[in-house]
Amino acid sequence: MSETQASDVQISDPRPCIDPNPLSPYVAWAGNRNKDPILSVFNGIFPKTGSVLELASGAGLHINYFAPHFPEIRFQPSDKDLSVFESIKAKRAEAANKNISDPIAIDLTDETTWPDPKDGLYDAIFVINIFQVAPVSIAEGIAALGAKILKPEGFIAIYGPFTLNGKPTTPSNLAFDGELRATAVPDWHLKDIGDLEQAANKHGLALKQRFDMPVNNFILQFARA
């Protein structure tokens, strides 16, 4: 299925096979399912004006959906995979979003790719649905980057399914974790909120709010301790 076709996948469709490729039908299906609940939370925590960075923007579904709701915010998409940049820009053009910058390359494991704080600080950073398939060590990169480029009152919002105190929070999350582990890909499993907190604490950040979301997901909001 092409990227254009994948973006047409709707939440009413059967769930596609799990595939973390940002242009896959599965990612489009999941994004369409969670975009409105996430927007509802962001409406309550985003500033009225300022600048917001998305990490791992993928195909650009979320940032292009959110941007029209915050016309006074400048949104910065990013990804380590340069092949998704055209998708991000195509969605920006399709939606006529004027407050989204060109995507930039950020590899959370490579500090040399991170934005220079001298070029400006961010009011918020958000990342959606990466920890199911990314190593928990990525939390170190997110926290270190946030400590470097967030404004003093800025925050990081991380959305996804997680375990709590080492245990899935619901039977459905237990089943999802089992599906991920059945792939035998080492990093494919749910990560624990405590591990993300530990990474954040190393960089002077703390978990300030935990929002319970539909289908047993969370938004974790981290800010300076």
Q: pLDDT band for position 8 (50/70/90)?
A: very low
Q: Which pLDDT does position 3 carry in this prediction?
A: 37
pTM given for the model: 0.90
d(CA 15, CA 223): 34
Per-residue pLDDT tens digits for 113-161 = 999 999 999 999 999 999 988 899 999 999 999 999 999 999 999 999 9
Q: pLDDT band for position 6 (50/70/90)?
A: very low
d(CA 104, CA 39): 23
Q: Which pLDDT does position 1 carry in this prediction?
A: 28
Per-residue pLDDT tens digits for 69-90 = 999 999 999 999 999 999 999 9
Enclosing H/E stretch for 205: strand 205-213
Task: For the chain, state the CA radius of gyration.
Answer: 16
Per-residue pLDDT tens digits for 13-23 = 677 887 777 77
Where are the chain's structural domains?
3-224
Strands 217-224 and 205-213: antiparallel
* Mean pLDDT along residues 198-205: 97
Q: How many residues does the chain have?
A: 225
From the options 3.40.50.150, 1.10.10.10, 3.90.380.10, 1.10.357.10, give the CATH code of 3-224: 3.40.50.150
